[in-house]
């Protein structure tokens, strides 16, 4: 995009956002802790699914100190249903680090990146949404918008393309309006610049979009198909004693359902029956 067009582009997008922004409780808070928790939950969870969990989690752990003081098993129990339990473990570790340093959530990029579980996107989201600082963010929706806007080839999830898109996001970011700007790009990607059949006729910034003018929306900003998933069959073994107690084992902290308890299980080979496994 030409430097002379950037201001007009910003005004068009922010004007659209003022009318068409998505309304949701998770956006109403400026509390750094609440924003932090919401961003961790939404890393692998849709807003509609994650909102009830966020509300319950904030009631259970309303402050960073409350989470830091909790037992890990209690935190994992509160996280049940969200999956990707490493997020909960990292959040617990990070809360303990913050609490040990006085309880103040860092308001700098370097300070946030020093905490477990916080990457560049989450740090930028906390800085812009909670602290009102000029920090650009690039999530999947924004990556797609920017890739089409600038006609960026290749997988938008690749490290090289991510660096390029971050540079673009920082160049377009309007000073003092990072919160609304980041949310506007997200909403544009979620509702207009969708992966399939984008609504270009309704887009407020299609005039600036290279992909639109080249009629390449369907091929740009789209990640390649994932490789096919491998199937695995496990056999669960329920062992009880005369008193009705059930034998449980704790899963390793890393991997699926990390740190949770379950009945013993073994993985079947393709040529085995459950009894043989």
CB 193 within 8 Å of CB 13 = no
Number of Cβ atoms within 10 Å of the Cβ of 269: 10
**Which of 30, 76, 38, 71 minimizes the C-alpha distance to 55?**
38
Cβ contact 107:131 at 8 Å: yes
User: What is the set of active-site residues?
Assistant: 39
CA-based nearest residue to 208, from 168, 264, 253, 178? 168
DSSP secondary structure code for residue 224 in this structure: P
Would you give the distance in Å from CA 183 to the centre of its chain?
14
Measured torsion, CA atoms of residues 85, 88, 94, 95, in degrees rounded to the nearest 10? -160
Half-sphere exposure (CA, 13 Å, Cβ side) for 9?
20
Total Cβ atoms within 10 A of residue 96: 18
Helix (H) or strand (E) holding 53: helix 47-60
Measured distance CA(76)–CA(142) in Å, rounded: 31
Residue 210 burial by Cβ neighbours in a 10 Å radius (0-12, 13-18, 19+) = middle
Helix %, strand %, coil % of the chain (to 5): 50, 5, 45
């Amino acid at each position: 995009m030409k430097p002379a067009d950037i201001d007009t582009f910003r005004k068009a997008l922010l004007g659209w956002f003022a009318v068409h922004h998505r309304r949701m409780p998770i956006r109403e808070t400026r509390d750094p802790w609440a924003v932090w928790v919401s961003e961790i939950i939404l890393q692998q969870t849709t807003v509609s699914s994650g909102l009830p969990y966020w509300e319950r989690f904030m009631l259970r752990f309303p402050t960073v100190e409350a989470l830091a003081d909790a037992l890990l098993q209690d935190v994992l129990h509160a996280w049940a249903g969200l999956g990707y339990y490493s997020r909960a473990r990292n959040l617990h570790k990070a809360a303990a680090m913050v609490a040990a340093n006085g309880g103040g959530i860092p308001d700098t990029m370097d300070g946030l990146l020093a905490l477990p579980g916080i990457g560049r996107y989450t740090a930028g989201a906390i800085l812009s949404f909670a602290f009102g600082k000029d920090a650009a963010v690039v999530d999947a929706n924004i990556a797609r918008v920017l890739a089409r806007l600038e006609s960026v080839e290749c997988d938008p999830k690749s490290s090289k393309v991510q660096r390029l898109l971050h540079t673009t996001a920082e160049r377009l970011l309007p000073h003092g309006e990072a919160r609304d700007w980041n949310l506007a790009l997200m909403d544009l990607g979620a509702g207009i610049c969708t992966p399939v059949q984008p609504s270009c006729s309704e887009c407020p910034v299609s005039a600036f979009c290279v992909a639109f003018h080249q009629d390449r929306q369907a091929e740009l900003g789209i990640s390649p198909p994932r490789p096919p998933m491998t199937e695995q069959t496990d056999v669960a073994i329920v062992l009880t004693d005369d008193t009705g107690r059930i034998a449980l084992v704790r899963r390793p902290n890393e991997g699926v359902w990390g740190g949770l308890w379950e009945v013993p299980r073994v993985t079947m080979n393709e040529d085995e029956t459950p009894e043989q496994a």
